């Protein structure tokens, strides 16, 4: 328990790095971030005051990431994205790591064991526990666990926090800045190996909001990456899982056109199929 509390305090201190005394109680530093490249701002113009650029603000991975947003220095290093290869259509990089399970206990989990058991996996990478957009995403995906499982997919959360920080976060009520008990595992990527394998690591600090969907053969079928301030859509993740299932069911003979939804007509994967489908669209 003492270790959990220390881990929680560490994450809270990281979060507090974003809220210095000059802005605490007023506007959030997130609202002060300007998504403009540094070259678009005149060098003669004074920089707006920001907790992120304050010399007195303590350093943390989350602060460093947002400082990158302000400065425009957001390039990935070669270590962050090995060989620049896209993972889609490839077998997902395997890993074994500590995770906090739905029962609150810490145990080892292995990605390949899930798809070898006949289930797909939705990997939900996020920056840090005890922060901002992250709990809203975690709780939204948690509410949809039954829908994902009905489509044949498990949900796993992944961040660079320790398993003890995950544990402390799940033992804290949402009204107090936590997320409460979850219905899916939170994986600890403390050494950042998993985030690096999935090309998600930002400047060797935290994971971006990567959504990797792995099918029951272990193949990465979908990979999207959101910037730190941008939350993801559970509805879209479910739609992608449903498309994967439907294409698997028909052996790839039919494919999913733009904006496809459950129950809608699919397209035969042929030139005639394209003509027939497009010919029936309303102008």
Enumerate the active-site residues.
Answer: 134
The span from the CA of 211 to the CA of 157, in Å, is: 10
- Any bridge partners for residue 223, and if so which? 212
257, 220, 76, 225: CA torsion to nearest 10: 50
Query: Length of the chain, please?
Result: 283
The span from the CA of 93 to the CA of 37, in Å, is: 33
The span from the CA of 97 to the CA of 81, in Å, is: 20
Classify strands 153-159 and 120-125 as parallel, antiparallel or unpaired: parallel
The Cα angle at residue 191 between residues 60 and 97, in degrees rounded to 5: 130
């Amino acid at each position: 328990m003492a270790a959990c509390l220390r881990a929680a305090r560490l994450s809270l201190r990281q979060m507090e790095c974003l809220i210095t005394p000059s802005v605490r109680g007023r506007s959030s530093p997130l609202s002060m971030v300007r998504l403009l490249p540094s070259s678009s701002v005149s060098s003669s113009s004074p920089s707006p005051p920001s907790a992120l650029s304050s010399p007195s603000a303590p350093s943390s991975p989350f602060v460093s990431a947002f400082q990158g947003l302000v400065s425009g220095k957001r390039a990935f290093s070669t270590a962050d994205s090995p060989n620049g290869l896209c993972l889609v259509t490839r077998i997902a990089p395997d890993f074994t790591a500590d995770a906090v399970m739905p029962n609150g206990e810490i145990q080892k989990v292995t990605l390949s064991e899930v798809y070898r058991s006949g289930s797909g996996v939705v990997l939900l990478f996020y920056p840090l526990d005890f922060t901002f957009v992250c709990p809203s995403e975690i709780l939204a995906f948690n509410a949809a666990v039954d829908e994902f499982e009905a489509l044949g997919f498990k949900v796993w959360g992944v961040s660079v926090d320790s398993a003890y920080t995950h544990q402390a976060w799940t033992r804290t009520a949402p009204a107090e800045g936590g997320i409460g008990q979850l219905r899916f595992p939170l994986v600890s990527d403390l050494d950042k190996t998993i985030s690096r394998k999935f090309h998600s690591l930002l400047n060797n600090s935290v994971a971006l909001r990567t959504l990797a969907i792995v099918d029951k053969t272990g193949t990465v079928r979908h990979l999207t990456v959101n910037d730190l301030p941008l939350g993801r859509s559970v509805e879209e993740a479910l739609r992608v899982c449903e498309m994967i299932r439907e294409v698997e069911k028909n052996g790839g003979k039919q494919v999913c056109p733009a904006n496809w939804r459950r129950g809608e007509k699919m397209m035969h994967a042929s030139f005639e199929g394209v003509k027939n489908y497009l010919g029936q669209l309303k102008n």
